[in-house]
């Protein structure tokens, strides 16, 4: 799938929205423990390797509804004309059981649990060693192809630290602890405050049986204040959202003993497309050594590839004896300078 060019010469792209992260500044383990019954149930599963013929839901159909950036008042912003999708089938129940077994494994609970002022119980950064099934599933070419089709742009998984992020809520409501200063509704209808994501695209998938649940929609807020609600996914189904550019929040789901969702983050495959990733929302809930290493690595790879492309074009120009294009080169160098400066803004020292 070729990258979609959405920038219009008549309407220059706006600066990306500011991402406000949790007040939590460094990785903190939760004090509220996940019920042992959930852990024991998940660990009964016999482990398998990911097999798309067995674990992908082949009832997959393109979502009935794709909301566009133009529809929600954000034309010429982001990396794709597609804003968000309604839920669509992605993984089988067997695949969900495999993922839950890794999420609630001893290693994941010991090393990868986090809490913040946004959510009381999260599991993230499991990586391929602790969660090989989960990692392989989200990075499998067939899965990425499906998600790219829905997103309207060719994607790749972002960083290993965000394959994947799990929000865990159970019947004491422990993870719906959003502080009012972060933008949550006073009436308690929101599970998460209005916010923008750090990463271009996110795929949100449900790991719980939602039978009997009411609510759980994703709300999108337009620049004019109007709100669109998209129904929440059921077990094994997923939705795509261009969350870096769209203000959104998750609404509470009532009923059921648990609600566990998993989010995997993606960025454009093409190195020439803009990358406005920030770390504000994940810095305080990550292993900084790992996060900064992976962020620096992929960003430098993008820069390297961009320079290779420009160098190849310069060599072709010389062979063709075309004149030196000073404005083009200056524009390219300015863009890369801004790219590096944005990295300096993200690679912050966090006091212990």
Mean pLDDT, 10 residues at a time, over the chain (352 residues)?
A: 41 78 85 87 92 92 93 94 96 96 94 90 94 97 97 96 90 45 46 86 93 85 94 91 94 82 96 96 93 98 98 97 97 97 95 72
Quick one: pLDDT at residue 177?
A: 37
Q: Which CATH architecture does the domain made up of 36-172+187-269 adopt?
A: Sandwich (2.60)
Quick one: pLDDT at residue 187?
A: 46
3-state SS assignment for residue 350 = coil
Quick one: pLDDT at residue 350?
A: 85
Quick one: pLDDT at residue 191?
A: 61
| Other residues' Cβ atoms within 10 Å of the Cβ of residue 153 | 26
Provide the token pair at 10: 């008549």
Give 154's contacts (C-beta < 8 A, 6+ positions apart): 1, 2, 3, 148, 268, 269, 270
Quick one: pLDDT at residue 84?
A: 97
Quick one: pLDDT at residue 3?
A: 40
Give the span between the Cα atoms of 250 and 228, in whole angstroms.
12
Alpha helices in the chain (DSSP H): 36-42, 52-55, 93-103, 106-111, 127-130, 132-139, 141-151, 288-319, 326-346
Domains of the chain, residue spans:
36-172+187-269, 287-351
Give the largest CA-CA distance in the chain: 72
Quick one: pLDDT at residue 169?
A: 85
Quick one: pLDDT at residue 44?
A: 92
3-state SS assignment for residue 140 = coil
3-state SS assignment for residue 48 = coil
Give the span between the Cα atoms of 95 and 134, in whole angstroms.
9
- Rounded to two decimals, the pTM is 0.88
Quick one: pLDDT at residue 12?
A: 57
Quick one: pLDDT at residue 32?
A: 84
3-state SS assignment for residue 160 = helix
Quick one: pLDDT at residue 293?
A: 98
Quick one: pLDDT at residue 252?
A: 82
């Amino acid at each position: 799938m070729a990258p979609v060019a959405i920038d219009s010469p008549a309407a220059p792209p706006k600066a990306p929205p500011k991402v406000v992260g949790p007040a939590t500044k460094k990785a903190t383990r939760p004090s509220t423990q996940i019920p042992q019954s959930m852990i024991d149930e998940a660990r009964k599963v016999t482990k398998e390797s990911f097999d798309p013929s067995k674990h992908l839901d082949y009832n997959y159909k393109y979502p009935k509804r794709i909301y566009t950036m133009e529809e929600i008042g954000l034309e010429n912003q982001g990396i794709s004309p597609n804003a968000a999708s309604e839920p669509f089938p992605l993984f089988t129940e067997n695949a969900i059981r495999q993922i839950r077994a890794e999420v609630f494994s001893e290693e994941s609970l010991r090393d990868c649990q986090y809490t913040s002022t946004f959510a009381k119980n999260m599991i993230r950064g499991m990586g391929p060693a602790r969660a090989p099934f989960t990692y392989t599933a989200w990075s499998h070419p067939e899965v990425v192809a499906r998600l790219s089709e829905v997103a309207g742009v060719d994607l790749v998984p972002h960083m290993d630290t965000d394959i994947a992020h799990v929000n865990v809520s159970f019947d004491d409501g422990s993870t719906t602890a959003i502080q009012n200063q972060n933008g949550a509704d006073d009436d308690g209808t929101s599970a998460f405050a209005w916010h923008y994501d750090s990463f271009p695209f996110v795929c949100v998938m449900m790991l719980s049986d939602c039978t009997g649940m009411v609510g759980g929609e994703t709300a999108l807020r337009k620049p004019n204040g109007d709100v669109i609600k998209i129904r929440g996914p059921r077990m094994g189904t997923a939705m795509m959202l261009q969350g870096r550019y769209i203000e959104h929040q998750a609404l509470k789901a009532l009923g059921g003993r648990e609600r566990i969702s998993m989010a995997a983050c993606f960025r454009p495959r093409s190195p020439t497309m803009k990358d406005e990733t920030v770390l504000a929302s994940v810095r305080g809930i990550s292993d900084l050594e790992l996060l900064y290493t992976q962020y620096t690595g992929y960003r430098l790879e993008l820069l390297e590839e961009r320079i290779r492309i420009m160098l190849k074009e310069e060599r072709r120009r010389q062979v063709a004896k075309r004149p030196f294009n000073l404005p083009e080169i200056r524009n390219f160098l300015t863009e890369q300078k801004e790219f590096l400066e944005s990295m300096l803004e993200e690679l912050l020292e966090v006091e212990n």
